[in-house]
Structure 1
């Protein structure tokens, strides 16, 4: 008896194994979109394997169907061989049970009815139809199923009522299968359109061009997979992850959907696949399919037209791509031309020899010097990772550095870049031209803060060795304690008088608020005292730098770009280089 029951049990397990080769997703999907990374590894601890004394099958095994279990590629996309055995182990068990080896037949192509039956038997919400396809039952299905169950419970003891409930349940299953069969397979074609690049913090539009290649209308829910670092919102302003794009696309028609993305991080990012669900005519099931659409996109520092307004205000003219460099007339040491005297001209600019020859007042015009050198130095140390709103201090420094480089190159100066923390991370010698600006932006795209303290002595010695000519060295950094401040002063002092150094720091609005706020509680008193000590240390550092001839800039984050450019223009105007 036990032997016959064992044979029946083995046969049952093998039959379920053949059916489950269709692939049943785990019951914890909850009807959500199935994304990469949700597959389960094969089981190696099934009852059959334990009864036969076989070792557990490792997750890295490859089944005889020719798939890697973790990638859901076996016969219809199953996440695992349901018996927990590879087909070769199944063959060994059948031979051990006395069956001839040729009794093992490859499982036939499973029907959709068996797929649905397998999903119901396993109690799952979705059944895979392939590596990139799945069927998901809807809330309407569960509502009707609940009514059938209630009818069955209400008809206990009533044969007619029980038969009616069973018939209704069977009809529901048949209707569900028919609804799933009627949904066109792979009928939707999607093409994603991305901008060439994004600007940090600037929203951009992503377009999805949808084309229905079938004659039937499709009730769709579309979900793209932007990088997780992006903030993606629908046209209604809701997060894309919580509110997929919905539409009804008529047969053989096209439509375009859009959504907005924004990134507060710089760097290279990847878009993944596009998922969509098509609802059946009866509304009982949805077929989910995946369209492979990998794409790369780079997020640049903010060099958009909106940010260029600050630069235009500083230069007094509108910057335009491809605009020819014109002489910057005004204060300077390089003679540019002569013209007739104007009432607002200073007397010291009158050329008396030319006036005597012409018989009328002639004024000399000067232009700011070109071919001067600017080295932008950016600290990548741990203090620069502190957040101020949506951006870190490093982000604010990089955006200001990009504007400063653009201004200097527009004025004809040579601009270089040096990134550092405890060592030299990147160095670009000062040069001119559009290619130099592109190289600076490209280097700043991937700049990330490090959990290291800056080594100012090493960095400024390196900069001095690489730049023999007099150079305006602008260092974006942060100051916290006396030790850091002392090393900064000691590192910058040897640069003078050959070079002109300048430190640029962000004032902490929280620190200023804590100083100005009148403390009301004991905790606020401690905060006020601590903030005052930090502020005093910073002021002592500023005074020490200024006493050695180092220029300083310390402004709130929103004023950093404009203040840095204005200080650079002031240096140019006063001919300090």
Structure 2
């Protein structure tokens, strides 16, 4: 593609007043304006023909395959000129998706003999998939009158995943603190515990673990030791409906839920359990079967990155019935959701009841600190009182729903947004210690 530069446009615009002045003061030479335009056009053609040919350049573009939310990353564009290189060149990037360019989508190339390169800085603003669609390179001739431009279609995907740097740090701290759990033989009583061995009874052990027959045979107390069962199924069921996409402290609730789910998944995988992800709103959106192994966490990270922000109402009946149909064995289902009142929660309660017939269900609900702030704020005008009364009513209905969930046999974790991850990890480890999985 060849088109005029700014210099050419300005020169063309300057011809009109010059031709007008000549026409007024020297009418016989009114054609001088046309001559100037023809001269400019000729110079433009010469500049375009003598500059580097469009077929003499090969363009490539490199970018990361995955980045974390909030990270800045560089997309590097390179060009190789087959015969000769221009004095200067510019790159421009066409991109779509949840990214921004703090310094713009254009960059001046650094020229080397026969080569040009430039880095365009992008910033990932939220989870999702950004696409590098096109890359352009352009250069001018020696006179700077004509741009020559080459376009390359890219269609490269950059997966924007949840930022897991803090997740890994917290996970390692929590895992190191509880590293002995699930890794060595422990005394565990309850359904699902695996018998490990017999050992001398020691003070502090559960008296129910005493094997009275073996104790009578050996004339001293003998206790049974149990090993925590591993390879449990854990499913992170993430509600991505309208209520979960509302901001909580400038961050959508679903993003906070994803961070807490990944933190718990990291701990569970370290403990030898199998972890899967299930996302839904009006219908199931993303799913991965519970897996374990060397590299499942990366897969979970990619699945959660693909959970989009939705404005649909959540259909608990369809989503949880679909999830129950895919699970072949008893599992711990961790549901991250949000509800406004008892009416909207009725279908959720009935859908959860079917899951409890076979599975263990743990609900994770983020505390609404904004509503709590309205209640605790000092009233200065009638609007503050009305706002506090409404907030108290909403929180009362919320507590009623949570109470009904507990009566059904659902385990509930209600925590502040910043503490949801550690609170869920502690609840998961507590369920393992009690052999409820």
**Same-fold call, TM > 0.5?**
yes
> What's the counterpart of residue 11 of structure 2?
144
Give the Cα separation in 1 of the matches to 2:282 and 2:110.
Answer: 57
Tell me if 1:372 matches 2:232: yes
- CA displacement 1:302-324 (0-9 Å, x = unmatched): 264443112112212799xxxxx
CA separation of 1:504 and 1:174: change in aligned 2, threshold 3 A: same
- TM (norm. structure 2) is 0.78
Give the Cα separation in 2 of the matches to 1:298 and 1:265.
Answer: 11
Would you say the 8 A contact 1:279–1:286 is kept in 2?
Answer: yes
Q: SS of the counterpart of 1:219? A: coil
Q: SS of the counterpart of 1:296? A: strand
> What's the counterpart of residue 285 of structure 1?
146
> What's the counterpart of residue 216 of structure 2?
none
CA separation of 1:205 and 1:253: change in aligned 2, threshold 3 A: closer
- TM (norm. structure 1) is 0.61
Greater RCO structure (CA 8 Å; 6+ sep): 2
CA separation of 1:364 and 1:296: change in aligned 2, threshold 3 A: farther
CA separation of 1:221 and 1:527: change in aligned 2, threshold 3 A: farther
CA separation of 1:421 and 1:253: change in aligned 2, threshold 3 A: closer
> What's the counterpart of residue 35 of structure 1?
none
Structure 1 unaligned residues grouped into runs of 5+: 1-132, 320-324, 354-361
> What's the counterpart of residue 238 of structure 1?
103
> What's the counterpart of residue 88 of structure 2?
219
Q: Count residues with an aligned counterpart.
A: 420
Q: How far 1:299 moved relative to its partner?
A: 1.6
> Aligned runs of 1:428-447 on 2, under 5 Å?
430-434=290-294, 440-441=300-301, 443-447=303-307
Q: SS of the counterpart of 1:135? A: strand
User: Which of these residues, 205, 209, 225, is aligned with residue 348 of structure 1?
Assistant: 205
Q: How far 1:428 moved relative to its partner?
A: 5.2
User: Which of these residues, 46, 51, 73, is aligned with residue 204 of structure 1?
Assistant: 73
Would you say the 8 A contact 2:340–2:398 is kept in 1?
Answer: yes
Would you say the 8 A contact 2:230–2:271 is kept in 1?
Answer: yes
Structure 2 unaligned residues grouped into runs of 5+: 212-221
Give the Cα separation in 2 of the matches to 1:303 and 1:265.
Answer: 9
User: Which of these residues, 324, 327, 340, is aligned with residue 183 of structure 2?
Assistant: 327
> What's the counterpart of residue 40 of structure 2?
172
Q: How far 1:278 moved relative to its partner?
A: 0.9
CA separation of 1:271 and 1:331: change in aligned 2, threshold 3 A: farther
Give the Cα separation in 2 of the matches to 1:148 and 1:455.
Answer: 68
CA separation of 1:547 and 1:175: change in aligned 2, threshold 3 A: same
> What's the counterpart of residue 517 of structure 1?
377
CA separation of 1:327 and 1:174: change in aligned 2, threshold 3 A: same
- CA displacement 1:394-431 (0-9 Å, x = unmatched): 33333433332332222122334444445555665545
Give the Cα separation in 1 of the matches to 2:353 and 2:244.
Answer: 23
Give the Cα separation in 1 of the matches to 2:115 and 2:285.
Answer: 53
Q: How far 1:245 moved relative to its partner?
A: 0.4
Would you say the 8 A contact 1:136–1:288 is kept in 2?
Answer: no
Q: How far 1:177 moved relative to its partner?
A: 2.7
Give the Cα separation in 1 of the matches to 2:10 and 2:406.
Answer: 76
> What's the counterpart of residue 385 of structure 1?
245
Q: How far 1:145 moved relative to its partner?
A: 3.6
Q: SS of the counterpart of 2:255? A: helix
Q: How far 1:498 moved relative to its partner?
A: 5.5
Give the Cα separation in 1 of the matches to 2:47 and 2:282.
Answer: 64
Would you say the 8 A contact 1:335–1:367 is kept in 2?
Answer: yes
Q: SS of the counterpart of 1:176? A: helix
Give the Cα separation in 2 of the matches to 1:422 and 1:142.
Answer: 54
Give the Cα separation in 1 of the matches to 2:322 and 2:99.
Answer: 40
> What's the counterpart of residue 127 of structure 2?
265
Would you say the 8 A contact 1:200–1:266 is kept in 2?
Answer: no
CA separation of 1:165 and 1:493: change in aligned 2, threshold 3 A: closer
Q: How far 1:209 moved relative to its partner?
A: 2.0
CA separation of 1:293 and 1:456: change in aligned 2, threshold 3 A: closer
Q: How far 1:223 moved relative to its partner?
A: 0.2
Q: SS of the counterpart of 1:412? A: coil
Q: SS of the counterpart of 2:109? A: strand
Q: SS of the counterpart of 1:218? A: coil
> What's the counterpart of residue 76 of structure 1?
none
> What's the counterpart of residue 217 of structure 2?
none
Q: Which moved more, 1:472-481 or 1:365-374?
A: 365-374
Decide which structure has greater strand share. 2
Would you say the 8 A contact 2:107–2:118 is kept in 1?
Answer: no
CA separation of 1:256 and 1:318: change in aligned 2, threshold 3 A: farther
CA separation of 1:150 and 1:400: change in aligned 2, threshold 3 A: same
Would you say the 8 A contact 1:349–1:365 is kept in 2?
Answer: no
